[in-house]
Amino acid sequence: MMKAVNGTESEVSVVEIDQIVGHWSDLRRAEAERLAELESKREKFLEDFGDITDSVIRPAMQAVVDQLGKDGGGGLIVERKEDVNHRPRVTLWMSLEGTIDGEPRQDLNPYLQFDADVGRRRIDVWEGDMWKKEGSSRATSPWELSEVSTESITKRILEILRRAATHGVEA
């Protein structure tokens, strides 16, 4: 114990304990506020991702599915909601010839996939130009929500389809 200068050792100990507990309480309160702010940002990002999926991503992808169908190909949009083990995801699967029968696969179908990375508040972009088991599948640079537009999605899909159309063609 400390030696009391202007009081008994007991009085100084009580003051010091009050200070320690007060400091600890301040730290806990600050941490709770920080966590609440993070959760608020997380929820806002999820809401914004949902809004942009409804207003931009899905309509842009559906336009491609419709056009592929008119041109003898096919397409499918698959969405996954967030759960304990998974991030929200929107995937456009495409076929250059005919409809997609069965489960689409990264080694068979061109695709564009958006995964919401809630922690980093960005969209992880995956794409593949596989056709007839030729091509590649990979992650690309992530997008910010502000980068998502009908034009940016359509441009990326056209690049994927251009590459996919060169696979499986005998020279």
Mean pLDDT per 10-residue section of the chain, whose length is 171 residues: 56 82 87 85 93 97 97 96 87 94 89 94 95 88 96 97 84 50
- 4: in domain: no
Torsions phi, psi of 26, nearest 5?
-60, -45
**What per-residue confidence (pLDDT) applies to 1?**
46
- Which residues, at least 6 apart from 120, have a Cβ–Cβ distance to it below 8 Å? 142
> What's the pTM value of the predicted model, to 2 decimals?
0.79
**What per-residue confidence (pLDDT) applies to 134?**
87
- 171: in domain: no
Domain count, the chain: 1
- 152: in domain: yes
- 5: in domain: no
Cα 79 to Cα 91: distance, rounded to the nearest angstrom: 6
- 1: in domain: no
Cα 83 to Cα 171: distance, rounded to the nearest angstrom: 47
Expressed as residue numbers, the domain containing 98 is: 11-164
**What per-residue confidence (pLDDT) applies to 5?**
54
**What per-residue confidence (pLDDT) applies to 157?**
97
**What per-residue confidence (pLDDT) applies to 121?**
92
**What per-residue confidence (pLDDT) applies to 6?**
59
- Both tokens of 12, joined, read 């100084």
**What per-residue confidence (pLDDT) applies to 50?**
95
